[in-house]
Each structure stands twice: as structure tokens, then as C-alpha cells.
Amino acid sequence: MIAARFARLSAVCALLLGASFAGAAPASATGTAGTCPEGGGVTVVVDFGDLGPQPLVRCAPGTPANGIAALQEAGIDVAGSQKYGLAVACRIDGKPGPDVESCAGMPSATAYWSYWHAAAGGTWESSQEGAQTSKPVAGGFEGWAFARPKSANDLPAPPKVAPVRQAATPAPAPAPAEQGGSFPWGLVIGAVVIVVVAGAGIVVARRRRAQ
Amino acid sequence: MRSRALHPGAWWVWALSLAVAASRTTNPLLLGLIIAVAGFVVANRRSAAPWALAFRLYAYVGALIVASRVLFRILVGGEDGGHVLLALPRIPLTAGLSLLGPTSAEALLGGFYDGLRLATMVVCVGAANALANPKRLLKAVPGALYEVGTAVTVALTVAPQLVESVQRVRRARRLRAGRTRGLRAVKGIVVPVLEDAMDRALRLAAAMDSRGYGRRAYLSPGVRVLIAACVLSGLVGVCVGVYGVLDGTSSWPGVPLLVLGLAVAVVGFVVGGRRVRRTAYRPDPWRWPETAVALAGVGSCVLLFVSARIDPANLYPSLSPLRWPEVSLVHVVSLLVAALPAFVAPPSPGVVR
């Protein structure tokens, strides 16, 4: 039991180390670019709004378990918030960057990812459920639009890409996010500095107590 | 450097700046560094007075905060799509609520980061309490805030005095070869400590009364009404102004109301300060070490806020996807500035060198 738990812990550590050595897994490892063919999976549309990049359209094969899984299986990077995990999609494909959104708690009420569903050829409808509990419809469309409402009470706008199947448009593959592609030197430096400062404090305290 | 007690205001400015810096990050390395810096300065510059022994208590409270945050993440956690560390059985309650369930590394680390941030702020307050004499701080409070200051000082000294009291009672029990550990000893310690606290409160009240605390200068009824009206309307203005500033949807003026309310309240407090007439016996001087200590704290906080733009990702390390928390050199250096008081502050009088 304990051995199993230890194995699991070391597996997570190894995964962490591996991730920081090898960088993020290539974003296009799964899924295909462009809309899915008829009955070929769930299409995921990401509209970056005013964040810059062109809208992303990718296909997740089969029927993913939930909205987040659809994003991941379509080969799009999604990052949650520190406090709520993947219950909140805070960054999609690395956007918005850490300079404008810390992703510590809930994202800002006037700059966040809104989540939409649509049937093929239908219209976008705002999701009534969180992305971790909603089940994508087989052959349907999943939309993510970066909402920039003027105030927190305004409704977000749906993705600008219509949920329509297109005949094999060669969409550009998402650029693999470059994150921590090397040994975590920052961790080592931080730990060494803490040990040095704390050690000096303990030595001083011991010496004072001895006097 | 001649040994003397530093102005308590300088230590409080330094410690509160560190606490503000801690509120800007959830990186456990930076938070650990803040705790280490606070501990280093306390170890170097604390006096031998009873209130200076309370730092360890604040550290224990911090540890308790972290442990309870992590435990609550396990208790009400549940599946969040992360890397499962502990596969605990789920206990379903009503309406979609459940206890326990698989606990992921992300949830545990999230609780740890969050708790460590609060614990760091608590440790910063503990450092200020260990370094500064809270009663001397009361002398530096402006007359308008005098009564509030008295209440705050009494509240701040509760924890250090309880620690001192517990230590004294335990020492007395040890001398009589009684139990000092275990559950049975608690009864024998709690009663004398409570009695001690009561006695101390009565002695303090008598001492304050004999020194003329709470006496007020005469003010005409008109002035008193003016003071009350100024303070009340000013504070209402501040409340409404803050609401207007924070609520993005409102169209009515938030900032002007806030400024106006603050101005009216300050006028009220200043006029109200005339009620308190007092003189200071041996006032604490504010010399260059005080300025240096306060500047070290504020400077390190400002540096961290300014340099937040340089490597923003390291202030809030990513948990999904899981990444090692890393520090940037800029952030480490800006926090190390806060360790300067260990060298620039004069040693406290009680220390034998």
C-alpha cells in the first residue's frame, strides 16, 4: 500500500522533472487540424478575440469525456487556475500570457474564456455547464471565445467562426508552447538561497541562546 | 554601533511591507524566502524581552494554517482531472456534495501554496511583534487614533503575553517537580494562566488610570457634534466610494467620493485628536537606522511589485500543467533587500556582545 503510494508519488515527480526537461508535450500530438469529417469526432474552435492569433479549428477524434478533454484530445494546450484547477480554463494555447493574467484564482470578469456548444451547421449557444462536467455531443462543435465584455454584467460574444464543416482546409498547426525547456535551475537557486538565509538565522539564534 | 531599541514604527513598516510582498505571490520558494528573511532578522535583532519569545508561536500558527488548508483540500477535494496521489473512497453527501474522493497532486499543492501565503503574512506580523515593543508603538500613534491605538495594542500583546505566562507557569511546575507535558498538565497550566491574565489586566487598568489615561480635554457640544458628523459622513463617503471604484458597472463617480470621504474623515479625526492631551516622556527618536529599516522593507516590496512584469510566470507557478516552482534572480534579490535590517539596525539593549 505504502509502496504503491510511494510509486505514485515518484511517478508524479518523474513526470514533473520529465516535463521540465522535455518541455511541454508537442501540442499537435493528438487531434487533427481543421474541422472533423462527418461522424469523425468533435470539432473544437478557439477564437482568440483581441489576443492576436488567428482562430484555431481542430478535431478531437471520438467523443471526449468532457469539454476540457475535448480541448486536450484535439491537441490544444489548456491550463487551469491555481486555486480551482481545470474547473476553470484560464489559458488556452498559452493565451492570455502570465503578464496580464496570473491564473492564481478566478480569471478577470472582463477578460476570460467563454465556453460554447453548437450542432454542425447550427448556431453557437453558451454552455450551461462547466467544461469539466459538460459532455460534448458526438459530431458536434465545441467553441471557446476569449470574452472582453465592457463590464462584468455584459454577455460575452460567441466565437466568430461559424460551426460549419469545411472540406479539409489546411489550418495552421498550433505553435508548440515553449515552456521550461531545461533543467529547473530557478528551483535549485531558490532552495539554496532559502537554506543559506535560514541556516544563518538558526546559527545566530543558537549562538545567542548559548550565551 | 551603540545598542538601543529601534523605533517600533520602523519595525512595523518593515514587517507589513514584507507581508504585502507575500500577498503578491504564491511561489512557495519566494514565500519560504520571506519567512527565512524574517526569521534571520528576528534572530539577529530581537531583544530578550518576553514579547520577543513569541516568534516561535507565530511560526507554529503558520504551520497549522498550512496543514489545515491541505487537509481541507483532501476532505472536500474530489476529482479535478489531475494526477491522483491518494485514491481515497468517496463519501457521498446530499446534492452533489461529497467528502474525500481521489486527491490530486494539483489540489494538494494548491492548498499548500495558498496556505503558505497566509502563513507567511502571519509570520511577518510575528516578526514585528518579536522585534518591536508594542507598548512603545502606542506612543507614536497620533492623538486622533489614540483610543483605537490602545485597543489595537492590547489586542496585539495578547499572544506574546500568553506565551510568556505559559512559560512562567510551566517553569514553576517544573521547579515543583510537577507534570509539564501531556493532557493532564493542561488543567494545571490553564487555570494559573487565566488567573495571571486577569491579574495583569486589572494591574494594567489601575496603572493606566493612575497615569491619567482616558481623561479628556473639554470640548464644546458644537465641536463634538461636528467631529461626529465629520467622521461618520467621511466614513460613509469612503464606503460608497470604495464600492464605486470596485464595481466596474457603476457609472456614478467612485474616485471623487472616495477622496472627498477620506478628506472629511481625516478632518474629523484631526479635530477629534484635540480631545486627547498628552505629553511624551522620553520619546523614541527617529534616526537614520529607523529610516534604513523602513526603507529596506518598503524598498524590497516595491522592487518585487516593479519587477513583477519581468518574470510574471514565476510569481504564480503553474499547477495545471504541473511545473516546478522557479524563482527569478530579480525577485530573490529584491526580497534579500529586506534582510538588511539585520545589519543596519542597532543591536537591541538586552543582547550581550
Nearest residue, CB atoms, B36 vs list A184, A189, A194? A194
Looking at residue A18, its pLDDT comes to 43
Contacts of B323 in chain A (CB under 8 A): 16, 19-20, 179-180
Q: Note whether A86 contacts B30, CB cutoff 8 Å.
A: no
Of B26-40, B65-79, B136-150, the least confident = B136-150
User: Rounded to an integer, what is the distance from CA B85 to the centroid of its chain?
Assistant: 34
Residue with the bigger pLDDT between A149 and B139: it is A149
Mean pLDDT across chain A = 76
pLDDT digits (tens, 9 = 90+) for B298-347: 999 998 888 887 777 778 887 777 778 888 888 888 888 888 888 888 88
- State the Cα–Cα distance between residues A114 and A91, nearest whole angstrom: 12
pLDDT at residue B109 greater than cutoff 80:
yes
Instruction: Given the cut 0.90, state whether the ipTM is greater than it.
Output: no
pLDDT at residue A14 greater than cutoff 50:
no
Looking at residue B16, its pLDDT comes to 92
pLDDT at residue B17 greater than cutoff 90:
yes
Looking at residue B123, its pLDDT comes to 93
Looking at residue B1, its pLDDT comes to 64
Nearest residue, CB atoms, B40 vs list A17, A153, A197? A197
How many residues comprise chain B? 353
Contacts of B80 in chain A (CB under 8 A): 80, 84-87, 132
Among residues A76, A80, A20, A81, the alpha carbon closest in space to that of A53 is found at A76
Among residues A147, A106, A102, A104, the alpha carbon closest in space to that of A124 is found at A147
Give the pTM.
Answer: 0.76
Q: Note whether A194 contacts B33, CB cutoff 8 Å.
A: yes
Cis peptide leading into residue A96 (ω within 30°)? yes
Looking at residue B96, its pLDDT comes to 66
Task: Read off the C-alpha cell for A186.
Answer: 530557478
DSSP string, B196-261: HHHHHHHHHHHHHHHTTTT------HHHHHHHHHHHHHHHHHHHHHHHHHH-TT--S-SHHHHHHH
Which pairing describes strands A42-47 and A141-147: parallel, antiparallel, or unpaired?
parallel
| Strand arrangement, sheet containing A141-147 | A32-33, A56-60, A42-47, A141-147, A112-118, A125-126
A142 phi and psi angles, rounded to 5 deg: -115, 130
CA distance B119 to chain A (A): 16
Q: Note whether B327 contacts A12, CB cutoff 8 Å.
A: no
CA distance A139 to chain B (A): 24
State which H helix or E strand residue A18 sits in.
Answer: helix A2-22
Q: Note whether B327 contacts A8, CB cutoff 8 Å.
A: no
Which pairing describes strands A112-118 and A78-79: parallel, antiparallel, or unpaired?
unpaired
CA distance A84 to chain B (A): 8
- The count of other CB atoms within 10 Å of the CB of residue B304 is 26
pLDDT digits (tens, 9 = 90+) for B164-195: 888 888 888 888 877 667 777 777 788 888 88
State which H helix or E strand residue B91 sits in.
Answer: strand B90-92
Task: Read off the C-alpha cell for A85.
Answer: 484547477
pLDDT at residue B120 greater than cutoff 90:
yes
Is residue B78 within 8 A of residue B98, CB to CB? The reply is yes
pLDDT at residue A181 greater than cutoff 60:
no
Residue with the bigger pLDDT between B267 and A179: it is B267
Nearest residue, CB atoms, A190 vs list B29, B86, B110? B29
- State the Cα–Cα distance between residues B18 and B335, nearest whole angstrom: 8
Q: Note whether A79 contacts B320, CB cutoff 8 Å.
A: yes
**Residue B33 pLDDT grade (very low, low, confident, very high; cuts 50, 70, 90):** very high
CA distances for B8 relative to B22, B56, B273, angstroms: 21, 20, 22
